[in-house]
Amino acid sequence: MPASVKGGIELRKSLRQFTPDLAKELPKEIAAALKPITKSAKGYLPDDNQVLSGWLPRAMSEATFPTYTARVAKRGIGYKTTPSKPNRKGFRSLARVFNNSAAGAIYETMGRKTPNSRFVQNQSNKYNAQMKGKDKMQGRALFRAYDENNGKAREAVLDAIKTASTKLNARASVKG
């Protein structure tokens, strides 16, 4: 689940400006918290022999629906520790996990809106994958890995930010 951190961008700018060593340490701590989620999410994606045969790459295909290749889908899962651009509402993410693969995204969210569609039922009969999470945060791989992480990554990221802020303030305080 998302967490609201006020002053996160300003903290990262201050770290870069005044304590470059802490600026390098913060993304490493955040990455250490996000790696287990991406690793387990890659494990939840099916192999090529576990998806429907019509979803696999085929010769002479003119269809626009993306085909599934496990290697490409697993390579599409990752994380970023750099701040994102502001969205329409002005919010930015300081750290995030993502799925860049079109077929991986389809596998992730298939059945969220139409659980009784033929595609979802056929795929579920072949490879029974659980949907975990709630509402828009519900999925089979990335959201499932995040849900099973029980908020450990979220808390670790918040702790890393708080620790960096504390260390910056301790170094910035004038003594004497």
pLDDT bin (cut points 50, 70, 90) of residue 175 is: low
Question: How far is it, in rounded angstroms, from Cα 9 to Cα 16?
Answer: 11
Long-range contacts of 26-30 (CB under 8 A, 24+ apart): 26/81, 26/160, 26/161, 26/164, 27/81, 27/82, 29/156, 29/160, 29/163, 29/164, 30/81, 30/94, 30/95, 30/156, 30/157, 30/160
User: Rounded to the nearest 10 degrees, how much is the dihedral formed by the CA atoms of 19, 23, 29, 32?
Assistant: -150
**How many domains, the chain?**
1
Residues 6+ apart with CB under 8 A from 98: 77, 78, 79, 80, 142
What local confidence, expressed as pLDDT, does residue 136 receive? 78
Q: Give the ranges where the chain is alpha helix by DSSP (H).
A: 8-18, 20-44, 70-75, 102-109, 118-126, 142-148, 152-172
Does any domain span residue 124?
A: yes
Q: How far apart are alpha carbons 52 and 37 in whole angstroms?
A: 26
Decide if 99 is inside a domain: yes
What is the extent of the structural domain holding 165?
A: 8-56+63-172
What is residue 50's predicted lDDT score, i.e. its pLDDT?
84
pLDDT in the model for residue 174: 61
| Residue 136 domain flag | yes
What is the Cα–Cα distance from 19 to 171, expressed in whole angstroms?
Answer: 9
Residue 123 gets the label, from left (phi > 0), alpha (psi -120 to 50) or beta, of alpha
Give percent of the chain with pLDDT exceeding 70.
95
SS3 125: helix
Specify if 23 maps to a domain. Answer: yes
SS3 state of residue 137: strand
In a domain, 2, yes or no: no
Q: Is residue 3 part of a domain?
A: no
| pLDDT tens digits, 42-75 | 999 999 888 887 787 777 766 677 888 999 999 9
Which is it for the CA torsion 57, 58, 62, 65, positive or negative?
A: negative
Q: Could you tell me the pTM of the whole model?
A: 0.83
Whether 176 shows a pLDDT value over 60: the answer reads no
For residue 1, being part of any structural domain is answered with: no
Give residue 76's pLDDT. Answer: 95
- pLDDT, one tens digit per residue, over 81-115 is 998 999 999 888 889 999 999 999 988 888 888 88
